[in-house]
Amino acid sequence: MDRFDNIPETALRWHDEGKGAALATVVQTWGSAPRRVGSQLAISGAGEIEGSVSGGCVEGAVVAEALDAISTGKPVMLEYGVSDGDAFAVGLACGGTIRVLVEPIGPVMPLQVLRNLVLARDARVPVAYITGKDVERRLVRDGFDDRFRMDRSGFEEDGETFVAIHNPPLRLIIVGAVHIAQALVPMARIAGFDPLLIDPRESFGSADRFPGETILHDWPDEGVQAYGLDSRTALVLLTHDPKLDDPALEQALKSHAFYIGALGSTRTHAKRVERLRESGFSEAEIGRIHGPVGLDLGAASPAEIAVSILAQMLMVLRKGA
């Protein structure tokens, strides 16, 4: 999964600096193309670049075409075959073909659309940029549930309307800096999540146990509320202590978090459910909780449990609850 980038933001900055700018977007691929559909490259009128559409294979040619497009104010659709040799150089087994749409900012991609896109990304609001040959270029938030869930940009059935998905980066909030968290944090990073640990017990949530990680020593409900829970955030509760887990859980059930998981046996979860019922939560709300947390893999060690949790998170993210 691609990490969050600043490509639209960079294109907007170059435009505002008076350099002129264009966005190049991979709109179609065949074979083992180096970059997925939706990957972008920003190009300034001075020849500066940010991002990638091919891992280095055809960037030079795209930049040359983009400079012409900035000069003429017209879009251009490019198609390249990536040779076996070039593909091997960027880590692929064989070549492929890519189509790249180049859109100058202003004459083609409306400046206000780009500004609104940058604002949406900054606010962690998922949006889709609609573009195409004879299509009104605009941003939409509804109507593409499957695309948002799968992070899948692409052409619609008409073959003309291209939908570029801009999702916020994935986040994982872990309540409880326990052994499972020590395994889950690096796994989650590899899968593209930005993790945050919350544990008021400083002996658990220490830099020695989690070097380089963001750790909040707040009470979990306060930490969760401060950090925020949205449709691109997963919450995993690992303390096994209702005093710590329940307040954060109640925050999550009122949020749009895409995944909520809580550690504990079936018996422990039944008690948790009863407490939530007494607090006024509905069966539908309580049903959002994955408890016992993780897929039933027969996991035994903390690392195996972490694998089961991450697998379940990804399954819910991509397939829905």
User: Can you give the pLDDT at residue 90?
Assistant: 47
Residue 266 burial (10 A CB sphere; 0-12, 13-18, 19+): exposed
Q: 307 or 3, which is more confident?
A: 307
Q: Do 199 and 173 touch, CB atoms closer than 8 A?
A: no
Residue 44 burial (10 A CB sphere; 0-12, 13-18, 19+): buried
> What's the mean pLDDT when you consider all of the chain?
91
Rg of the chain taking only CA atoms, in angstroms: 23
Q: Do 3 and 167 touch, CB atoms closer than 8 A?
A: no
Q: Coil, helix or strand for 24?
A: strand
pLDDT (average), residues 213-235? 92
CA distances from 223 to 65, 137, 153, 176, 292 (A): 48, 39, 33, 12, 23
User: Can you give the pLDDT at residue 93?
Assistant: 45
Instruction: Report the percentage of the chain scoring pLDDT > 70.
Output: 93
- What residues pair up with 21 in beta bridges, in sequence order? 44
User: Can you give the pLDDT at residue 35?
Assistant: 77
Confidence of residue 85 (pLDDT cuts 50, 70, 90): low
How far, in Å, CA of 286 to CA of 269, rounded? 11
| pLDDT digits 0-9 by tens, 144-199 | 999 998 999 999 999 999 999 999 999 999 999 999 999 999 999 999 999 999 99
User: Can you give the pLDDT at residue 15?
Assistant: 98
The residues, any chain, with a CB within 8 Å of residue 186's CB and separated by 6 or more, are none
CA-nearest of 153, 192, 200, 142 to 313 is 192
Tokens of 271: 């008690």
For the chain, give every domain's residue range.
Answer: 7-166, 170-319
How far, in Å, CA of 114 to CA of 133, rounded? 18
Q: Coil, helix or strand for 222?
A: helix
Q: Under CATH, to which class is 170-319 assigned? A: alpha beta
| pLDDT digits 0-9 by tens, 263-272 | 999 999 999 9
User: Can you give the pLDDT at residue 92?
Assistant: 44
The residues, any chain, with a CB within 8 Å of residue 62's CB and separated by 6 or more, are 24, 41, 43, 53, 54, 78, 100, 102
CA distances from 242 to 118, 162, 176, 215, 237 (A): 40, 48, 12, 20, 10
How far, in Å, CA of 310 to CA of 290, rounded? 12
pLDDT (average), residues 121-142? 94
User: Can you give the pLDDT at residue 317?
Assistant: 94
User: Can you give the pLDDT at residue 156?
Assistant: 95
302-319 and 179-190 helices cross at what angle (nearest 10)?
A: 40
Q: pTM of the full predicted structure?
A: 0.81
How far, in Å, CA of 55 to CA of 35, rounded? 7
- Give the lowest-confidence range in 95-104, 128-137, 292-301: 95-104
- Tell me: pLDDT of 102 over 70: yes
| pLDDT digits 0-9 by tens, 19-73 | 999 999 999 988 766 678 999 999 999 999 999 888 777 888 999 999 999 999 9
Instruction: Report the percentage of the chain scoring pLDDT > 90.
Output: 81
User: Can you give the pLDDT at residue 46?
Assistant: 96
